[in-house]
A and B are shown apart, each in its own frame.
Chain A
Amino acid sequence: MNKINKYKLRIQTLVLMSFLFASFFTISSCDTDETQTVATFTNLEMADEFDVEGAPNSEIWNFDIGTGPNSDGWGNNELQYYTSRSENVTVQNGLLVISAIEEDYNGSSFTSAKILTKGKFSQAYGRFEARIKVPGGSGLWPAFWLLGENVDVDGWPQCGEIDIMEYRRQEPTKVSGSIHGPGYSGLTDPQGQVTKSYDLGNDRYDAGFHVFGIEWSPDYINYYIDDVLYNQITPSDIVVTPADAVYSLNDGVEAVEATAYSPAVEAVEPTDVTGDWVFNKPFYIIINLAVGGNFPGNPDSGEAFPQNMLVDYVRVYKQ
């Protein structure tokens, strides 16, 4: 029942999104300067071309290690143990190689890697892009995504999440781009994230490299695959899911009357951010290859390992 509901909602969302997409093109073909902004960000702010062999450039990248802060597979029942070992993550021949390996390691049956620019690079707005070849094989979840840098202060989903690329082998010709935020986290039923997938039609993503990118301004996020703009998300696309929790940035303060020993405290209301467009602050970059978990399901028995996710470059531009 739950699954059916989720599926239906996704379909509706997709239908809605395709409608927007269609109208965008219709309009833009007559008038490109007023109704929509087709962004062109060209000032390179940060780039890793993965030209230096060995470990990823430590001036740009950190690692997440293990199975998540709650040891629950990063909140998604993922099966891998993330390491920073060269077996799992290395730069070779001009490519970042993240390898998912089937092995017993610290109680997990797979290892892989997750690199992130947290604390080293973050930026609000601009073009974020990466040229990636996703791995073949079932039960894998390669992703290129951004998280709001206030995640440790305000938590998720208040910090916001921009998924530039997520892939699973159930749909080898599709990847999806999504945003998650307070009131549209995607964890509820029906799901609330704003998402759309792009189907190559006559090709599959594990067969070659593709450029996955967003162009992000204060009031929209454009999603690109190669040279195709396939979605635009704006604040008006956010629909707060009734089942989703109410999110606030603080707990508020209760009023306290003055006594002989202490002054009065004025009440402060919690800052309700439910349904807010939270994509107006710096975000950092994450690239990872998960094994198993809620999105792709577990690998087929007998699946071939290791499987490699290849990244040719990551580039970030400003307007």
Chain B
Amino acid sequence: MKNIKFMYSKIMLLTGLLFVITMSCERDISDQVEFAHLSKTGEIFTDSPIGLGSDFYFPYTGSKATAWSVDDNEGYESAASMRFDVPNANDPTGNYAGAIFRVDGSGRDLTEFDALTFWAKATQGVAIGEIGFGQDFGLNKYQVSENNISLSTNWQKYVIPIPDASKLFDERGMFWYSAGTQNTGGNGYTFWIDELKFEKLGTIGEPRPAILNGEDVVQDVFAGISLDLTGLTQTFNLGSGLNKTLNVAPSYFDFSSSEPSIAFVNEFGNVGVSSGSAVITASLAGVEADGSLTINAVGQFELAPAPTIDPSDVISVFSDTYDNVPVDYFNGYWEPYQTTLGGEIIINGQNVIKYTDFNFVGTKLTTPLDISEMTHFSIDILMPVVLPTDIDMLIVLKNENDAETTLQQQRIGGQTYQWSDLTGDINDTESNATFETGGVWKTIQIPIRPTSETGLDKTGVNLIIIERIKSSNVTDLHIDNMYFFKE
């Protein structure tokens, strides 16, 4: 027995030596190699970024790209932390701070954790707009965020629970944040985050998922349309005894339909509807979600009437009737304040723009338009069958270039049909066209006013913005036939 043991240890030693020598001669493993087992590392930042690779910080468009740094003079029980300098609202290089931290390389296996945790403090008491994980600038399939995280001037620990860790077996979106100055009067500030990591706390319980913010919603829609489920949240009770509610991506949920042939929900929470009635419910990690959507699909979607103005008198932005000028996008998804989702869709073979979660949205023209000859801007708007109780919107025609921004804005939907003067004040001088009925297309023709009244430089209009104002509760609308014309 003794001999055998001795032999084995000798063999082991030899093999070990051989292995070491062989490895040291081997070239680095190719980037092409796919590992069967992904990293189970939870740490993202301790005293320095952990295992993120070299290219992991991706700021949002319009944010201050240099907002993030490693601070070697501050730290939670350590010498270093992540520092975020949120710029002043008037900072020309970006008026907010926001970015994703994405692993440069293979994703991580986070299935054994139950929360993202970190310590944080700020130069003043302030609420950070959004903090979360799961955003990768890809499908953002397992995105999670907490809104308005309140930081104080002392280090405190924060916990963002994972809605269902079994989904995070290959996740690159480690962390993301978006911080503005809307609560600080436009004044910048600094906050620090340290010991950022995924952890298994074991103290998170009582999951209470919800769709449609837990409401049982009944919605009459047109057959043939599709719509997105909103208000998707997961609420947990933390070890502190306090509840925490997170915004979670649709792919965490399992959706079900009482009549899949009538209303079918995909993994992104998009409901495709044919004719009839169905009830949509959901569960998350086996827990039934509060809230439901009862869909009554009644009749076919009515397309906007085709415009009849002579094409020679028209510069068209979006219409199946006319040739359209090139457009960069019908929804810029402007961070961080825009909530509007949607854009171009095709219904019964016709191009239509559909917006949901609407607050404001912009159409960007590829080439600035000279509309000096034009007398009106025409737009067709379809409000939902159940008309919002407070319709109040601005339509803004903008000439935005490096030198200056000029605009004409027009208030619609209220009792008066208004336009703004040079100082941006709204004058009510025009009579209005109101939305009397939901589910019916309304053509709104906005007179283009003299530059002397509005300041708009008509030689280079490149942005059309639609904005919900005041207490308006417009959330969903369809748009068609956007064009300038001359009488």
B206 touches A137 (CB 8 A): yes
Assembly CA distance A170 to B200 (angstroms): 21
B300 shortest CB reach to chain A, Å: 39
Whether A172 touches B208, Cβ cut-off 8 Å, given contacts A202-B201, A203-B202, A204-B203, is no
A206 within 8 Å of B (CB atoms): yes
Chain A residue nearest in CB terms to B204 = A204
**Chain A nearest Cβ from B302, distance in angstroms:** 39
Main secondary structure of the interface of B (DSSP, over half): loop
Q: A239 at interface (Cβ–Cβ under 8 A)?
A: no
Number of A-B contacts (CB under 8 A): 36
Roughly how many angstroms separate A195 CA and B202 CA in the complex, as a whole number?
25
CA distance A300 to B205 in the complex (A): 16
Chain B residues with CB under 8 A of A204: 202-205, 239
A172 pairs with B201, CB closer than 8 A: no
A:153-205 near B, CB below 8 Å: 169-173, 200-204
Q: Which chain A residues lie closer than 8 Å to B200 at the CB level?
A: 202
Residue of B nearest to A302 (CB): B214
In the assembled complex, the Cα of A172 lies from the Cα of B239 at a distance in Å of 6
With A169-B237, A171-B241 as known contacts, state yes or no: A206 contacts B206, CB within 8 Å: yes
Instruction: Return the chain A residue nearest B208 by Cβ.
Output: A304
A195 to chain B, nearest CB (A): 18
- The answer to the question of A66 belonging to the interface, with a C-beta cut-off of 8 Å to chain B, is no
Interface residues of B in 288-341 (CB under 8 A from A): none
- Which of B204, B205, B237 is the most central at the interface, judged by chain A CB atoms within 10 Å of its CB? B205
**Bound state CA distance, A203 and B239, in angstroms?**
8
A304 to B202, CA, bound (A): 22
Distance (Å) between the CB of A305 and the closest chain B CB?
13
Is A136 an interface residue when CB atoms closer than 8 A count as contact?
yes
Query: Would you call B237 and A136 a contact (CB within 8 A)?
Result: yes
From residue 212 to 254 of chain B, which have CB atoms closer than 8 A to chain A? 237-239, 241, 243
Chain A's nearest CB lies how many Å from the CB of B243?
Answer: 8
Question: Would A169 and B201 count as touching, CB distance under 8 A?
Answer: no
A202 touches B202 (CB 8 A): yes
Asked if A207 CB lies within 8 Å of chain B CBs, one says yes
Contact with B along A109-138 (1 / 0, CB 8 A): 000000000000000000000000000110
**A202 neighbours in B (Cβ, 8 Å):** 200-203
Distance of A162 from chain B, by nearest CB (Å): 25
With known contacts A170-B241, A171-B241, A207–B205 Cβ distance under 8 A: yes
Is the beta-carbon distance between A172 and B202 smaller than 8 angstroms? Answer: no
B245 to chain A, nearest CB (A): 12
Q: Name which residue of chain B comes closest to A205, CB basis.
A: B205
Query: Chain A: residues with CB nearer than 8 A to chain B?
Result: 136-137, 169-173, 200-204, 206-207, 300, 304
The 5 nearest A-B residue pairs measured at CB: A202-B202, A170-B241, A136-B206, A203-B202, A204-B205
Q: A170-B241, A204-B203 are in contact. List 20 more A-B contacts (CB 8 A).
A: A136-B237, A137-B206, A169-B237, A169-B241, A171-B241, A172-B203, A172-B239, A172-B241, A173-B203, A173-B239, A200-B203, A202-B200, A202-B202, A203-B202, A204-B202, A204-B239, A206-B205, A207-B205, A300-B243, A304-B208
